[in-house]
Amino acid sequence: MVVTGTWYLVLSAMLFTIGGVGLLVRRNPLVMFMCIELMLNAVNLSFVTFARMLGDVDGQAVVFFVLVVAAAEVVVGLAIIVAIMRRRPRATADDLALLKG
C-alpha cells in the first residue's frame, strides 16, 4: 500500500479538527494551549505535504517560520499561563479579570 499525499492531508484535517474541538470544549488554559499547538502542527503537516506534492521548497520554508513563531508563543504564553495557574490553581479561561492590572 502506497501512502500518498491525500493520507497526510486527511491526517492533518483530523488533527486540526481534534484541536479545534478541544479548544472549544475545554476551559483549562493549559489544555487550550496544547490544542492550539496541535492545530499549528496540523497546518505545518499540510504545508509540508503540499510542498512535497508540488515539488517546491516554499512550504517547508513557511513551516520553519511557523515553528519559530510557535516557539515564541510557547515562551510567552506558557509563562503567563503558569503564572496565573500558580496564583489560582482552579483558574479557567473565563477568568480574564486576572489579567487586569
Note down pLDDT in tens along the chain; length 101 residues: 889 999 999 999 999 999 999 999 988 888 888 999 999 999 999 999 999 999 999 999 999 999 999 899 889 988 888 888 888 888 887 776 666 66
Give me the amino acid identity at 81.
Answer: I
Domains recognised in the chain with CATH numbers: 5-99 (1.10.287.3510)
Tell me which DSSP letter residue 89 carries: T
In contact, 39 and 12? CB cutoff 8 Å: no
Most distant CA pair in the chain, distance: 58
Cell digits for 7?
Answer: 493520507
pTM value?
A: 0.84
Cell digits for 42?
Answer: 496540523
Rounded Cα distance between 22 and 56, Å, is 33
